[in-house]
Amino acid sequence: MSLDVDALLTPPSPVAARALEVLRTWSSPPLVHHCLRSWAWAVLLAPTIDLEPDPELLFVAAMLHDLGVTPAFDAHQVPFEDASGAVGAVFAMGAGWDQARARRVGEVIERHMWTSVDPAVDPEGHLLEVATSLDVSGSGFSRWRAADLRAVTAALPRDGFSASFGGLVHQQAGRKPGSAAARLDSSGNVAAGGARWDAFLAS
């Protein structure tokens, strides 16, 4: 059965739609596509590992998880995922979420840079961590249907994402040498992930 990409990428609530508007306002097109692809990978993976995430929470986290690398929200004293999490929590409170739910979106965003997140403790955090690892590092292709990967990427082209994101991560690493961004930068996985995606899409 072919994938309905338009339905997959439709925000699951009015608040989620506003998060997408925030993303599009403050992020470059490659970063917008990355965030939307990350949502798609998370949603497609969830039923294959028996997870039922909160769609609105997951969508908002996916849309806002990298705002901390953008010029408007780059915080020089904290890791970018913490800055992104703070933006996510502020957005959620402004949207009328209670304090606990707003904090949850911040947690999910912060944890996407962990090396792993326990799905039993944080299903949304686990899904976003695994989804962003696929999109950035090309990790775990076999967990998704190849046809779905191609369909989503055709709708949301990578368009130089690896090079542009790699540059942003490198800047973060230079200013925050003890951060997860520095770990990612030193691993070479952003460039390697771009090469893995190029090879997959060309096959």
List of residues 6+ apart from 41 with CB closer than 8 A: 130, 131, 134, 135, 144, 152
Exposure string for 170-193, b = 16+ CB within 10 A, e = fewer: eebbeebeebbbbebbeeebbeeb
How far the first Cα of the chain sits from its last, in Å, is 21
> What is the tens place of the pLDDT at every residue in 70-123?
999 999 899 999 999 999 999 999 999 999 999 999 999 999 999 999 999 999
Written as one letter, the residue type at 96 is G
**Domains in the chain: how many in total?**
1
Mean pLDDT of 128-155: 98
Query: What is the structure's pLDDT at 106?
Result: 98
Q: Which region holds residue 160: left if phi is over 0, alpha if psi is between -120 and 50, else beta?
A: left
* Residue 24 pLDDT exceeds 90: yes
Question: CA-to-CA distance for 186 and 197, rounded, in angstroms?
Answer: 20
pLDDT above 70: percentage of residues in the chain: 100
Which of 15, 74, 6 has the alpha carbon at shortest distance from 40?
6
pLDDT interval class at 10 (50, 70, 90): very high
Which of 50, 54, 66, 60 has the alpha carbon at shortest distance from 135?
66
Widest pairwise Cα distance in the chain: 48
Structure tokens at 158: 């990578």
Query: What is the structure's pLDDT at 1?
Result: 75
Query: What is the structure's pLDDT at 105?
Result: 98
Query: What is the structure's pLDDT at 185?
Result: 97
> What is the tens place of the pLDDT at every residue in 157-203?
999 999 999 999 999 999 999 999 999 999 999 999 999 999 999 99
Q: 42 is in which domain, residue-wise? A: 5-202
pLDDT above 90: percentage of residues in the chain: 98
Q: Would you list the DSSP string of 163-198?
A: HHHHHHHHHHHHH-TTSHHHHHHHHTHHHHHHHHHH
CATH number, position 117: 1.10.3210
